[in-house]
Each structure stands twice: as structure tokens, then as C-alpha cells.
């Protein structure tokens, strides 16, 4: 049996994070932790040490790019893949850039679970 991959979701939308956590965990390949308070994101990532982070771009208190910058300053988190989730760009815009904007993986919200899962799997390659 393969070890479950640890996913940390940092997003202030509790309904979205609950649904995403349920969908990912139901696959049997992921262990998921959710942090809805952006101010607690770094502490959550430090404690959980995820294999990948799904990070909302726009949140109260602290925005996703600022959180990502803080994560990169920590030795044990600096190479953790981050997928930005955002409603500020469209799926077409993301697809036009092959899912990457300014060197970062982006997924437009709302997106299908299938699209998000494909981004997670690509980001975890070759270890997935």
C-alpha cells in the first residue's frame, strides 16, 4: 500500500475547503488538513509538513502570495509545491498559460475536481 500524500488547503471559504477535503480524502490517496485562517497558515504548514499546498490567492488578513513568500523562507517548506486557487482569473486565462502564471501553478475557481486533481498530480510528479 502506498503512503497517502499530505495536502494542506489554505482558503477562507469553509464550504469550499470542506467539499475539497471530502473529495480528496474519498480517493484514498490523500490525507488532508484545512486551514481557514490565513494568519495561521505558516504555523499549520510547519506542523503538518504537507507534500503540497493548495493556497487561495485572496483572503482576509494575509493574501496567498504573501503566505507563499513566507513558506519559501523556511528550509523544510521551501520546495513544497504550491497551487494557487483564485477566482480573479478565468479558466481560459489559466489554460492559455498552460496552468502557470509567473512561474506558479494556478487553478481558477470554480474549477472541476478533475482539473484540480490533475494539477495536484502534475505538481507531485514524479513522486505521485
User: Could you read off the pLDDT of 85-120 as tens digits, one per residue?
Assistant: 987 766 666 565 565 655 677 787 878 899 899 999
Check: CB of residue 63 under 8 Å from CB of residue 35: no
Strand partners, 43: none
Pair 45, 77: CB distance under 8 Å: yes
Q: What is the pLDDT of residues 14-24, one digit of tens each?
A: 999 999 999 99
Domain boundaries, the chain: 5-124
Q: Hey, what's the cell of 69?
A: 513568500
CA distance 46 to 28: 24
Instruction: Tell me the pLDDT of the chain averaged across its residues.
Output: 87
CATH superfamily membership of 5-124 = Response regulator (3.40.50.2300)
pLDDT tops 70 at residue 123: yes
pLDDT at 117: 93
Identify the pLDDT of residue 86: 82
Summarised one tens digit per residue, pLDDT across range 31-58 is: 999 999 999 999 999 999 999 999 999 8
Query: What does pTM read for this prediction?
Result: 0.88
pLDDT value at position 95? 64
Amino acid at each position: 500500500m502506498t503512503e497517502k500524500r499530505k495536502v494542506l488547503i489554505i482558503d477562507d471559504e469553509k464550504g469550499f475547503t470542506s467539499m475539497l477535503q471530502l473529495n480528496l480524502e474519498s480517493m484514498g490517496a490523500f490525507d488532508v488538513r484545512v486551514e481557514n485562517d490565513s494568519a495561521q497558515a505558516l504555523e499549520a504548514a510547519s506542523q503538518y509538513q504537507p507534500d503540497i499546498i493548495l493556497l487561495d490567492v485572496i483572503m482576509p488578513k494575509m493574501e496567498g502570495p504573501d503566505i507563499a513568500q513566507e513558506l519559501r523562507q523556511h528550509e523544510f517548506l521551501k520546495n513544497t509545491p504550491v497551487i494557487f486557487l483564485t477566482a480573479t482569473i478565468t479558466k481560459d486565462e489559466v489554460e492559455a498559460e498552460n496552468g502557470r502564471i509567473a512561474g506558479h501553478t494556478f487553478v481558477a475557481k470554480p474549477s472541476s475536481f478533475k482539473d484540480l486533481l490533475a494539477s495536484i498530480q502534475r505538481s507531485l510528479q514524479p513522486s505521485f
